[in-house]
Amino acid sequence: MSKIAVKAADSGRASQSGAIRHDWTREQVRALFAMPFPELMYEAQRIHRLHFDSCEVQISTLLSIKTGGCPEDCAYCPQSIHYKTGVKAEKIMRLDAVLAEARAAKTAGAQRFCMGAAWREPKDRDLDQVCLMVAGVKAMGLETCATLGMLTAPQASRLKQAGLDYYNHNLDTSPEYYSQIITTRTYQDRLDTLTHVRDAGIHVCCGGIVGMGEGEEDRIGMIATLASLPVHPESVPINLLVQVEGTPLAAGKTLAPLDFVRVIAAARITMPASVVRLSAGREDMSDETQALAFLAGANSIFYGPKLLTTPNPERDRDMALLDRLGLIPMSD
């Protein structure tokens, strides 16, 4: 093994017991990315098995409860008012319609029901409706998750009281590359929302997007930032950019599959007890790429025909792939 591989392996094997660390440096994460692929996969799988059943996958469904009209300028997002993508601004869904979707998701095998709204931040009157949705979904026995934009501390507390289990708020990329993707809110704004969510007692779902034209150093920086949070996110979604016509990122070089898998493996090694979600972009991934991602430590997926406004593999295709790989839904 090369010296850099040995150094990376030593970083990853800081504890043979898989103890959780919050002091990952960029140098250490960089060394993980530089490991020979077989060594990286071995270490990711070793860590994965210390904390999870290697054959279980957590299954979630994501519903857009309020689509389009977002004032943010996230360069990847078809819901932004700044871009002409054909996505129209809609009003928030009716409570009964959301609960019907949640019942259907549970029947189809989902364990967690996630609700997303295209807001910069919710107004208090909007939150009234969302809290009713959360309480209704929770009463069905599903885990609840929401992604609504930035939150204040009182808003996070209200969602907790309504029964919210998880809140998604991604960092998206490295601190250095962030301003190339978003200008309407700061990196610190995102960290502040995560603090409010954590302080309210809600589990954190936080990851990022790769393939946005960033360099490997930015992917390293994103993982190092997530792994250095005072408490690791309980759920870490790793999204592969879906290029949507009309957005600034509609054209550009796509990320190589093996580079994507390296991000999954690094997330698994540095955040051993977190569920790592193979998230957006699966529609364009081969079965082999997804299989490698599961081998690298991904153990969660969204299923259903859509992720907010972008395509997602049909449920039958997902179930067929999981069956071929011998993977089963995660038990409660």
pLDDT at 306: 47
Query: Higher confidence at residue 316 or residue 136?
Result: 136
Q: What Å distances lie between residue 304 and 33, 135, 137, 235, CA to CA?
A: 32, 22, 17, 19
Q: Which residues contact 326 (CB under 8 A, 6 or more apart)?
A: 55
**Residue 131: active-site member:** no
Q: 216 is written with which tokens? A: 């490997």
| CB contact at 8 A, 156 and 198 | no
Q: How confident is the model at residue 1 (pLDDT cuts 50, 70, 90)?
A: very low
Minimum mean pLDDT range among 42-46, 133-137, 283-287: 283-287
Q: What is the pLDDT of residue 304?
A: 58
- Which residue in 77, 131, 190, 206 is the catalytic one? 77
What pLDDT does 204 receive? 95
Active site residue 205: yes
Q: Report d(CA 264, CA 300) in Å as an integer.
A: 12
Q: Which of 30, 112, 131, 145 is catalytic?
A: 145
* Active-site residue identified among 74, 131, 198, 282: 74
Return the residue matching tokens 């289990």. 165
- Burial of residue 31 (CB within 10 Å: 0-12, 13-18, 19+) is buried
Least Cα distance to 301 among 49, 51, 58, 52 occurs for 58
Instruction: Say which of 112, 131, 185, 205 is annotated catalytic.
Output: 205
Residue with tokens 């928030």: 92
- Give the integer Cα–Cα distance in Å for 54 and 44: 11
Buried b (16+ CB within 10 A) or exposed e, 59-92: bbbbbbbbbbebebbbbbbbbbebbebebeeeeb
Q: Which of 198, 219, 277, 282 is catalytic?
A: 277
114 counts as catalytic: yes
Of 30, 114, 158, 219, the active-site residue reads: 114
Q: Is 145 a catalytic residue?
A: yes
Task: Find, among 250, 326, 254, 247, the residue nearest to 285 by Cα.
Answer: 254
Q: 214-273, pLDDT tens digit by residue?
A: 999 999 999 999 999 999 999 999 999 988 888 988 888 889 999 999 999 999 999 999
> What pTM does this model have?
0.87
Tens of pLDDT, residues 34-87: 999 999 999 999 999 999 999 999 888 888 898 888 888 889 988 888 888 878
For residues 165 and 145, the answer to whether their CB atoms sit within 8 Å is yes
Mapping DSSP to helix (H, G, I), strand (E, B) and coil, where does residue 221 land?
A: helix
> Is 55 noted as a catalytic residue in this protein?
no
Asked if residues 209 and 239 have their Cβ atoms less than 8 Å apart, the reply is: yes
Hey, what are 210's tokens? 């790769």
Active site residue 74: yes
Single out the catalytic residue among 70, 158, 268, 282: 70
Q: What digits encode the pLDDT tens for the residues 179-197?
A: 999 999 899 999 999 999 9
Alpha-carbon distances, residue 295 vs 47, 256, 320, 324 (angstroms): 11, 17, 17, 14
Q: Is there a catalytic annotation at residue 206?
A: no
